[in-house]
Amino acid sequence: MRKFDTKVQHLKYKVLREVARLAWKDTLLEHVMDIPKTIVPGNEPTMRCCVYKERAILGERVKIAMGGDKNNPNVIEVIEIACDECPVGGYEVTNACRGCLAHRCEDVCKFGAISFDHNHVAHIDKSKCKECGACAKVCPYTAIVSRKRPCQNACKVKAISMNEQKAATIDNHKCIQCGACVHQCPFGAIMDKSYILNVIDIIKKSDNNEKYKVYAMVAPSISSQFTYAKLGQVISGLKELGFFTVVEAALGADMVAQAESRELAEKGLLTSSCCPAFVAYVKSAFPDLLKYVSHNLSPMATLAKYIKDTTPNAKIVFIGPCTAKKAEAQLDEVKPYIDAVMTFEELQALFDSKDIDITTLGEDVLDNASYFGRIFARSGGLSDAVAQGLKEQNLDFDLKAVPCDGIEACRMALLKLNKGILDGNFIEGMACIGGCIGGAGCLTHGEKNKAEVDKYGREAFEKTIGDAVSQLK
Amino acid sequence: MIFVQVCVGSSCHLKGSQDIVELFEKAVKDHNIEDEVVLSGSFCIGKCNRVGVTVQVDDEIHVGITRENFKEFFTENILKVIENERK
């Protein structure tokens, strides 16, 4: 059964699992130094030059699994010794160049950066090259490749650069915590800080939910995760871990859709505020456009606020696909409502740290939200929900939504909004490709994920946003 | 003042907590006791049941409330309490 997309995720998972295993037993302090050797027991290296480097890197991973560097406010952290110092050359001609006659590369280059040697082999003049990639696209032998680092390629906000040691460094002012680099680095040298120790601590100190109740709030993208088991079994597993009950963040999405459609009808022009990475991007790259960002809290924070208002001693752990949610939970306006955030990857580690095989459990139920709240998990879902919200509340407003997934699409829409040439009146901004189902904290990123979310949406007991929200008075 | 929390957690939700919320709203209005009853929701009171919805009235937990037995429940636990308070 394949649980993860990559071996990097699997390695990260093993570290989280071992840290959690010790934490449940209260023996983390005594045995934390043994974890690297538990994971790499032999004398033969399997990943790096030697077992000692492997273990040294694992030591760094253990630190991040325990909350990471307290002096670094960013939830995304680089493990310098794990960074393999990938080449940074940009576009280069490889030996696949046959020295052909056509010279498409030369013709397409607007900057005159391509010349040929006496063997007719192409060369790129780095002082003229603008890294546009046009030559690579037209070469019939695909002989021109980009040697950009995967982390830099993944980072669409250009927050990653190289330091003197050629290791990646993150500009915290530009970083929006989307986690794209975390998911893309082939050496696993960038990780999101983990707060599983806080989660374990919250569960333990609740004394079986006697002292206070611990709520697990799951993001709707969970429907595309844990595909080896049934969703109902995941819910049973969460209760087995010690959560009092499980609620759907999608109900918060229903509440947001209702409020946001009213706000849109009133203001006439709006962007969504659900995706914390998108909001962080607007803050850092388009501060003048902040006035258009919806004033609603995210679905996570909206529902958490409701729960805490009605159940004063509740503790709430959000479980989702998102690394940026970890940063959102630290914002002053969200902090009072959310006690910890973890990803689906981390949840898998927690299950296994207690040896809970969810496939053997019975199926519990999960039903709080409507179809529309649930489809927030995929690109376009929020726009559909706002359209429905306008309809249900009889608001006379001609919605023209611009659903954007991925930071590049968001950037285009925001640039147009800035220039006043946006063909639309509502920007749905999602930092990850495909929406939340493309999040960095997902176990798997499959083709079928969107279909799974839609299916889960259709299974909702409530068909309208109004029905789902109406019970909350 | 009576605080009423109707469970809208997944289990009760599927057993019709929305109906119970509506019945409550209507009953409170019909008896003109809006100022004496505070209605709110709750996500799981921890008494998931085979039949009906869980409702917490102040510190007391009642399970198995359905459309059918709602009237009886309301008279016993809300109206009578208010009457006693007034005395």
pLDDT in tens, chain A (473 residues): 568 999 999 999 999 999 999 999 999 999 999 999 999 998 999 999 999 999 999 999 999 999 999 999 999 999 999 998 888 778 999 999 999 999 999 999 999 999 999 999 999 998 899 888 999 999 999 999 988 899 999 999 999 998 888 899 999 999 999 999 999 999 999 999 999 999 999 999 999 999 999 999 999 999 999 999 999 999 999 999 999 999 999 999 999 999 999 999 999 999 999 999 999 999 999 999 999 999 999 999 999 999 999 888 899 999 999 999 999 999 999 999 999 999 999 999 999 999 999 999 999 999 889 999 999 999 999 999 999 999 999 999 999 999 999 999 999 999 999 999 999 999 999 999 999 999 999 998 888 889 999 999 999 888 888 888 876 65
Residues of chain B neighbouring A306 (CB-CB closer than 8 A): 41
- Tell which residue, A451, A175, A17, has the closest CA to residue A9: A17
Q: What is the DSSP string of A165-199?
A: TS-EEE-TTT-----HHHHH-TT--EEE---HHHH
Written in H, E and C, the secondary structure of A139-154 is CCCCCEEEECCHHHHH
What is the pLDDT at residue A2? 64
Alpha carbon separation from A140 to A96, A110, A135, A399 (Å, rounded): 10, 19, 10, 45
What is the pLDDT at residue A29? 95
- How many domains does chain B fold into? 1
Q: Which fold has domain A70-86+148-193?
A: Alpha-Beta Plaits (3.30.70)
Could you name the CATH architecture of A197-470?
3-Layer(aba) Sandwich (3.40)
Spell out the domain ranges in chain A: 1-66, 70-86+148-193, 90-147, 197-470
* Pairing of the two strands A426-430 and A340-343: unpaired
CATH 3.30.70.20 holds for A90-147? yes
CATH code: domain of residue B15:
3.40.30.10
Give the global pTM: 0.89
ipTM score for this prediction: 0.75
Note whether A70-86+148-193 and A90-147 share their fold.
yes
Contact B41 A365 (CB under 8 A): no
Contact A365 B11 (CB under 8 A): yes
Question: Between residues 210 and 229 of chain A, which touch chain B (CB distance below 8 Å)?
Answer: 213, 215
What is the pLDDT at residue A471? 67
Q: Which of B8, B10, B21 sits opposite A366 (nearest CB)?
A: B10
CB atoms < 10 A from the CB of A314, how many? 21
What is the pLDDT at residue A89? 78
Distance CA B26, CA B28 (A): 6
The distance of Cα A299 from the centroid of its chain, to the nearest Å, equals: 16
Distance CA A52, CA A301 (A): 43
pLDDT in tens, B59-68: 999 999 999 9
The distance of Cα A280 from the centroid of its chain, to the nearest Å, equals: 13
Distance from A327 to chain B by nearest Cα, in Å? 26
Contact B10 A472 (CB under 8 A): no
Task: Name the residue range of residue B35's domain.
Answer: 2-86
Q: Which of B21, B25, B42 sits opposite A310 (nearest CB)?
A: B42
pLDDT in tens, B26-71: 999 999 999 999 998 888 888 887 789 999 999 999 999 999 999 9
